[in-house]
């Protein structure tokens, strides 16, 4: 079952990339992410589960990391809500 997104190119209006304003994702979404994005998702998952990483390395960017977590959690909530409403 594909995941359906609003086309990022046209904002849902319809274009040569999507035709109808929707973009169907029929393969693993990880293929579209770079390594920093994958790491951010992993760290956000750990933090959500109560295992905040210790200070050091890239995690010295505390504000960046907490902002990234909030963004990831927000997007996950939207996706989950849409999946529930689309049944």
Alpha helices in 1-87, H assignment, sequence order: 35-48, 62-85
Q: How far is CA 40 from the centre of its chain?
A: 10
Same domain, 24 and 10: yes
Same domain, 40 and 70: yes
Same domain, 38 and 22: no
Total domains present in the chain: 2
pLDDT tens-digit profile, the chain (87 residues): 678 888 888 888 988 888 788 888 888 777 888 888 888 888 888 788 877 766 665 556 667 777 788 888 888 888 888 888 876
Same domain, 47 and 79: yes
Same domain, 37 and 23: no
Q: Which domain holds residue 59?
A: 33-87
Q: 16, 6 in Cβ contact below 8 A?
A: no
């Amino acid at each position: 079952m594909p995941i359906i997104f609003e086309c990022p190119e046209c904002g849902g209006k319809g274009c040569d990339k999507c035709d109808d304003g929707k973009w169907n994702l029929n393969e693993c979404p990880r293929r579209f992410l770079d390594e920093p994005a994958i790491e951010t998702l992993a760290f956000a998952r750990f933090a959500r589960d109560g295992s905040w990483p210790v200070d050091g390395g890239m995690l010295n960017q505390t504000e960046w990391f907490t902002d990234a977590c909030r963004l990831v959690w927000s997007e996950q909530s939207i996706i989950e809500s849409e999946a529930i409403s689309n049944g």
